[in-house]
Structures are given as structure tokens and as C-alpha cells.
Structure 1
Amino acid sequence: MAIQLARIVETVGSAEDLTVTMAAISVELGFQYFALSHHVDVAMAGDAAIRLHNYPQRWADYYDENALGVSDPVHRASHVTSIGFPWSRMAAMIPLTPGDHHILALGRAHGVGDGFTVPAHVPGEACGSCSFACEVGRPLPQVMLPLAQLAGNFAFEAARRLWSGRGGHLPYPGPALTDRQRDCILWVARGKSDWEISRILGISEETVARHIKQACARYGVNKRTLLVIRALFDGTLTFLDIFRRRYAPFRE
């Protein structure tokens, strides 16, 4: 069945075909709903963002009107793992706020019960995922979750192919930075001043400031905080870079 799933989603020729295919696969796996999307504000991203689903229309409308694509707790939980997870595990993965519990309760009120989400992380692109969900009152089909993992992976890749092939672009591609610009952003992210960075990298304070200014210009931002966020968002930096790894031969 895994091979059949791969062949089905790899051969679809349009977003409409992929929607129909994923709806059928969802039922085959024991779910009623699916959602395949980038984690972005859909209204702002427009056609550039992957977004396919068969959720109840009232819930989809509310979701989009309130720009939940960015703050959705399911999406946020998917950013801290590389494998699929049941929604019932989210509280152990990320801190859930009262607002998060409210969003989940609203989903249930619209008929969407428990679910299973497969993360999709591609450097240089917005994060995304493929979720499968059950109607309220129906149990998660535990025995089918390994196949749901595979189906979600293949489906997101199929969506990426379709979005690229139709002339669109995937959201938020990162600019090309020099190695020195990246080094400077890394040490900014670690809380260092221009003077401290100059001592660490063995260059002048003015050169550090110039590298950071040029990196800001390439990203189209004017704040160092936004520069770090964008570099993390597109894969130029990772949290592992900031909190664990040290560049040889540089030392703090």
C-alpha cells in the first residue's frame, strides 16, 4: 500500500487532482479530513502558498479570516519535530496557551476532532505540514499512522512540484549571503555587540556593522531582531547554530 500511495500522489497533474486524491487517501487511512499547507498568513501569501484541504467550509473561513495559519498550535508543534504526531501529544511538545485551547475547541465545535500531523521542513521555504483529522467522536486510526506519515511526506512533495510547475513560487526564499555576513548574523543572534563580534572574528567594528547593514538590505529589513528571525526562518541559521554549535576557530 505504501508504494501505491507514493505512485498516486507523485503522478497527480493538478492541485485539484491532488485534493481529490488526498480526500480519498484520507478515507482509506481511516480519517475524514486532510489539510496540506504552508504555515503562513494565507491572505498575505496568496497563490504562492500551498493550501489544500477538505475541512468544513465554516471552519476554513474562520481559520483564514483570523490568520491562524501562523499561530495554529498544530503548526507550531510541527516545528519542533521531524516525524508525525497525534494532536493529543501537543501539550507535551509545546506550551499551550489559553488561546491555543480555544482554537482547538473551536475546531471541535466545527466537527474536527483528533488528528495526526506530518511536518514538512525545507530550508529556504516556509514550513509546512500535511494533517489528517477525524470527525469529532471518531478515534484516531492508530494502526494506520505509519502509512499516514508516508502519505503526508509524498503529498507535500507532490504539492511542491505542482506549485513550482505552474509558474508560482514558494514563499519567502532567502537571499544569498556571504559567509562573513552569516557569521555576523550568528553572533548577533548570540547577543554580541559589534565590538564583541569584531574581536571574535578578527575584523574591525566598522566592517561588522557594514556586513550586518548589507545583510539587512538583502532581507529588506531594518532591525537586527528581524534579520535574525528571517535568517532562522529560511534556514540560513538554525537554533542549533545559536545555542550549541561553535564555529572553529572562533571562540566566545
Structure 2
Amino acid sequence: MQAKNDIIAQDLANKIRHKIYEPGDFLPSENQLADLYGTSRETIRKALNALLSLGLIQKIRGKGSIVLNLDRYSFPISGVTSFAELNKELGMHATTKVLTLEDRDNLPKQFIEYFPEEESSSGIHLERLRLINGEAEVLDCDYLLNPPIESIPKQVAQASLYQYFEYELGLDISYATKEITVVEVDERIKELLSLSNNLAVLVASRNYLADTTKFQLTLSYHRPDRFKFVDFARRKKIKL
């Protein structure tokens, strides 16, 4: 069952996306939102923190939560979040087309430049095209290492890998390292994403379980004209 704070965050994100709350507007106060949704202030705080991590709002001390200007979809850099989860949070109504799902004895050529240490690793090669309003926006290329991933049903590849990994396989997904660059892509990727030139934003990720086992390598190609990547850095004071 979906948590109440997640339901509230999704509803607020949809209202921001559809300009019910416009850029520069302040959201209702925590007390007002608690009354509106019939829940506690703590639940509202969790929902607002989810919007904050997605770059949809900024909290201003003494004033509340202001809606940020969003002319493109925002993808948080620091979190370990699946596209399916972002799709739900941001209300993008995206669909997924599975292009490749195959077992391999070694790493596909396109991955070797970014993950040379896994060149001889067996795993599952998965490519998925993400479409928003019928237009291709993201190409996600994953290599799921075996072990711990032994198989992926096609219906899972079409939906959410992380739901399957966490709730069916019982894996404890914990952290990731990410490298973000602008790269020149081949003609296939250019055509898939309908790029005006051969440049795309690439997020290369190594994803790990809580016991430090590496389980997923990802090359995620994004259209640079449609997406922005956001993060929030908090200063931690250290007395020298």
C-alpha cells in the first residue's frame, strides 16, 4: 500500500505541473495542508521534503514552500530513484518501450568505456526507451550483474525494476555513484531520441546494495533540450 505522504507528494506535484500552483506561488502552510489532506503535520513535512528533493519547491524560513520555475522535467542527481518512481512523483504519464532484454556472458561494447572493470562480467542487458506524450525522451541502458540478478521477467522490465528487486527478490538497494557528461552518440541513439544533433546528456551510474555489492550499471541518455538535472546541497558547518 502506498504511504500517505507519497500520495500527497504526488498530488501536489501534479498540481504544480498543471499550474494550479504556479512558479513563485507559496504552497498552503503545513497546518493548512494537514487540514486539507486530513493528516498530521509530520506526514505533510515528509511530502514536502519529497518535492524539495525533486526540485519542485524551495523552503524559505518563516514564509513556507515556494514553487520553483519548471520549464523542463527535473531529475535529482543525488538520490537513487527509478524512472518509474519519478514518473509517478512528477506526474509525467510516461510509457516504456523495451528494446533489448538478453542474457550475456560479457559487457556490451557501449558499457566498456565507462565500466572497464566489469568487461568480463555476465549479466542481463536491458534497453528501455522512455516516452512522454508519445515522444521519446530518455534511453535507459542497464546491465544487471549476475549475481545477484539472475533473471528479469519481461513484464518487470516494462514496469519497475526496483519494485521487483526490493519486494520480490528482497534486495537492499542503498547507494550509487554517478557521472554526468555531454557525449556524442551514434546514429541509432540519435534516431531513437529524435536529436537535432549527435549530442545527449549521459548519466553513467554504478548502483550498489547495502552490503556494497555492485548490482547494476546504467547508461542513461537524455535529450538536453527537455530535461534538467537538479540537486540541493546543504552546508554543514565545521569548526576548524
Larger radius of gyration: 1
Q: If the TM-score is normalised by the length of the shorter chain, which range does it land in?
A: under 0.3
Normalised TM-score (structure 2)? 0.26
Bigger strand fraction: 2
Normalised TM-score (structure 1)? 0.25
Q: With CA pairs under 8 Å and 6+ residues apart, which has the higher RCO, 1 or 2? A: 1
Bigger helix fraction: 1
